[in-house]
Amino acid sequence: MSYQVLARKWRPKAFEDMVGQQHVVRALSNALDRDQLHHAYLFTGTRGVGKTTLARVLSKALNCEQGIGSRPCGVCSACREIDGGRFVDLLEVDAASRTKVDQTRELLDNVPYAPAKARFKVYLIDEVHMFSTHSFNALLKTLEEPPPHVKFLLATTDPQKVPVTVLSRCLQFNLRRLLPEEIRDRLGHVLEQEGLDFEPRALPLLARAADGSMRDGLSLLDQAIAFGGGRVAEEEVRAMLGTVGEDLAFDLLDALAAADGARLLNQVDRVAALTPDFGELLRELIALLHRLALFQQLPATLVMDDPDRARLAAIAAALSPEDTQLFYQVALTGQQDLPLAPDPRAGFEMVLLRALAFRPAQGPSVSQSPVTPAQRPRGGAAGQGEPAHSSGSAPAVDARTPDASPLGGVTKLTLAGPQTPPGSESLQGQAGALRSADDWQQLVARLPVGGIASQLAHNCGFLEWAGTRLALSLDPAAEHLRVPGAESRLRAALEEALGGSLTLDIQVARPSEETLAQRRIREADERQRAAVASMQADPLAQQLRERFDAEWVPGSITPSDPVDWITGDEGRTSGFHA
């Protein structure tokens, strides 16, 4: 007997064998057991999820010689002939090859005639969306009022192309994409039943490559068995699937997490030597960032036997959730720009460099070669190192003024000595005088922290500073900012500013005084109103309005020196806009 591929050999022959479609199986089983049968069913879903298989099992349940029910016997002549594809009253039609209206009419001419030997004559039309408009029109009347001995089972991967008039005459079931865990478990069951040796760590690789399709998963398993000579091993599966790209994606993400531009470009050189598809590699990187974001927020989503778990955990510890989201968005946007680049490699490099360029400064922790106070030079000429400090004062770090781009691999931070700009003071000085809301706002404005942690600080009001306990009140409207990662980073920045450990007590209550965020918003509103008033009073602007009989576009007038509400930085623009 010739070899039968696994996708055909292990095709489900009963409802209980279906994987991942319990919502459909339950509805069909209850309908069969209660004899509540519809005359037309439509199964939709992506390729390889079981649409045609489910239709065949339903055909067996309708025509089993033991009677209509959710558990066909599988041994009677009707069940065996349906499984073998030779049942005379089951007419399987591929709509893609019968698009002409004459072929459809020829098919429907036999509908009025009773089945040859079965209880029902079943029409199984696969990829029904491929019918032409005239073919659908020919099918409509029969589909609406078929004889009692006829059942229509339709399957399609694109239900949007099926006319609404057809959809309204069918009972529709949507089959979902299978999860990698479901495909992995099924592949393991098949290998055990086949008596083949396999490494468990190889199965998740095949399951992810199947992309939600059980048929694709079984086909890949067939290929892996042939590739490994009857054995399924992890390294051989990786070689077969060509998942070198995934390893390279991990290396690229490692370099991104380390903010090491030189190492990142070296990895791109290594990629270019393999003549890869840069678009596919970017998709691999996006998928990896998605898995990383899931692991950072919900670690339970990553199964314990995932072969990449250890590496994902290491990157998750080195990369903040905010940076993960930023990199994902930059890479996702870069997909659209990649075809427009002069060559794929240049476009891919620009996506990675853009991710580094837009990554917020992380303070001293982003330096790969941190310098302790004892290691800092006490003197030196200007331009030959860091500025000299007095032995009795610790330098303050301004994280917003990097001395070099992160593309060099090591980010050098400009260290400010005891001298501070006029009207301000060092963080340590502010900490010592932390007695009022104004002192707190001055401290927040200079904290070297960004992202959600900075927004959390801006929305907190000052309550009390007693010893090592700092009590703050968080505006209830900003309670969503209170996440463990942001709170811990804020506490670390405050400890650095205050020069020692502290207990951060954040209470959700409306602050008694205006927070820094509220003050910035108020000031921005005042500046906006002043800009509008100034524009309306400007003689030239009034002359233009009268001459052209025009009005200002609402919201188009902006101040000429907008203020970033997070950093407080002012940026000059060209003037008023209308």
Judge if 230 and 305 occupy the same domain. Answer: no
Q: Which of 334-348, 372-386, 486-500 has the highest mean pLDDT?
A: 334-348
Cα 531 to Cα 32: distance, rounded to the nearest angstrom: 72
Q: Report which secondary-structure segment, H or E, holds 402.
A: strand 396-402
Question: For the ranges 14-23, 38-47, 361-370, 489-498, which has the lowest average pLDDT?
Answer: 361-370
**Other CB atoms within 10 A of residue 536 CB:** 12
* pLDDT (0 to 100) of residue 455: 86
Judge if 42 and 132 occupy the same domain. Answer: yes
* pLDDT (0 to 100) of residue 176: 92
pLDDT of residue 532 exceeding 60, the answer is yes
Q: What is the mean pLDDT of residues 162-189?
A: 92
Judge if 35 and 107 occupy the same domain. Answer: yes
Cα 241 to Cα 223: distance, rounded to the nearest angstrom: 10
Torsional sign, CA 76, 23, 154, 5: negative
Cα 524 to Cα 531: distance, rounded to the nearest angstrom: 10
Judge if 439 and 356 occupy the same domain. Answer: no
* pLDDT (0 to 100) of residue 287: 87
Judge if 252 and 333 occupy the same domain. Answer: yes
Cα 169 to Cα 38: distance, rounded to the nearest angstrom: 10
pLDDT of residue 468 exceeding 50, the answer is yes
Judge if 158 and 283 occupy the same domain. Answer: no
Number of residues in the chain = 578
Q: Which two tokens stand for residue 561?
A: 């020196």
pLDDT of residue 578 exceeding 50, the answer is no
pLDDT digits (tens, 9 = 90+) for 356-393: 898 876 544 433 333 333 343 434 333 333 433 333 33
* pLDDT (0 to 100) of residue 244: 54
Nearest to 71 by CA among 128, 17, 137: 17
Percent of the chain residues topping a pLDDT of 90: 30
Q: What is the mean pLDDT of residues 401-422?
A: 37
Cα 160 to Cα 166: distance, rounded to the nearest angstrom: 11
Q: Helices (H), strands (E): how many in the chain?
A: 23, 12
Judge if 153 and 281 occupy the same domain. Answer: no
Q: β-strand 469-474 against 460-466: which pairing, if any?
A: antiparallel
Judge if 186 and 157 occupy the same domain. Answer: no
Q: Which residues of 487-501 are buried (b: 16+ CB within 10 A; e: fewer)?
A: bebbbebbebbbeee
Q: What is the mean pLDDT of residues 170-184?
A: 92
* pLDDT (0 to 100) of residue 324: 92
- Residue 402's identity, in one-letter code, is P
Asked if residues 578 and 552 have their Cβ atoms less than 8 Å apart, the reply is: yes
Judge if 104 and 40 occupy the same domain. Answer: yes
pLDDT of residue 61 exceeding 90, the answer is yes
pLDDT of residue 318 exceeding 90, the answer is no
Cα 315 to Cα 329: distance, rounded to the nearest angstrom: 18
Cα 168 to Cα 38: distance, rounded to the nearest angstrom: 13
Q: How confident is the model at residue 413 (pLDDT cuts 50, 70, 90)?
A: very low
**pTM for the model:** 0.55
- Residue 95 CB partners (closer than 8 Å, separation 6+): 125, 126, 127, 128, 129, 130, 131, 135
Max Cα distance, the chain (Å): 103
Q: What is the mean pLDDT of the chain?
A: 79
Domain termination site, one of 197, 214, 241: 241
* pLDDT (0 to 100) of residue 551: 78
Quote the domain boundaries for residue 349: 244-363
pLDDT digits (tens, 9 = 90+) for 195-218: 999 998 889 889 988 889 999 999
